[in-house]
């Protein structure tokens, strides 16, 4: 079975848990967890996940700094990144695309919508 591996980088333990349970339940994807940008970069380099769900608002290293680091390294520069953020405005879509973000999921999100939204953003086919 062509299972996907998703890295979730978020400092909020509850959000990480909700995303992890949702992706495992609805898609049977393997979920890697990081609670900081630095930890996420380390895991991304070691595991090369199929996609990254990244929180923008984190202490120490925010989403922008994390994206910059991921894109500056050969091993991680082509991993699709989807932002999961409470802070989003209309018109920012272009800015996200310019910094290499695949899509944006706004918090709070409906867990049952997470997998279909990710499949669409990433252009993946749903597995039977």
Beta bridge partners of 21: none
* Coil, strand or helix at 88: coil
Beta bridge partners of 55: 84
Mean pLDDT by 10 residues, the chain (128 residues): 85 95 96 97 98 92 93 96 80 74 90 95 79
pLDDT, one tens digit per residue, over 29-57 is 999 999 999 999 999 999 999 999 999 88
Count of Cβ atoms closer than 10 Å to residue 7 Cβ: 26
State the number of CA atoms in the 13 A half-sphere of 46 facing the CB: 10
Architecture of domain 5-122: 3-Layer(aba) Sandwich (3.40)
pTM of the model: 0.92
Domain borders along the chain are 5-122
């Amino acid at each position: 079975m062509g299972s996907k591996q998703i890295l979730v980088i978020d400092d909020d333990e509850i959000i990480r848990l909700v995303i992890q349970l949702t992706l495992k339940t609805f898609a049977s994807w393997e979920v890697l967890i990081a609670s900081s940008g630095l930890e996420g970069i380390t895991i991304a380099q070691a595991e090369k996940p199929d996609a990254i769900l990244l929180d923008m608002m984190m202490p120490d290293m925010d989403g922008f700094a994390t994206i910059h680091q991921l894109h500056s390294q050969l091993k991680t520069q082509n991993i699709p990144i989807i932002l999961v953020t409470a802070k989003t405005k209309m018109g920012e879509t272009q800015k996200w695309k310019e910094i290499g973000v695949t899509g944006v999921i706004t918090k709070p999100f409906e867990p049952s919508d997470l997998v279909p939204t990710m499949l669409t953003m990433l252009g993946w086919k749903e597995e039977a």
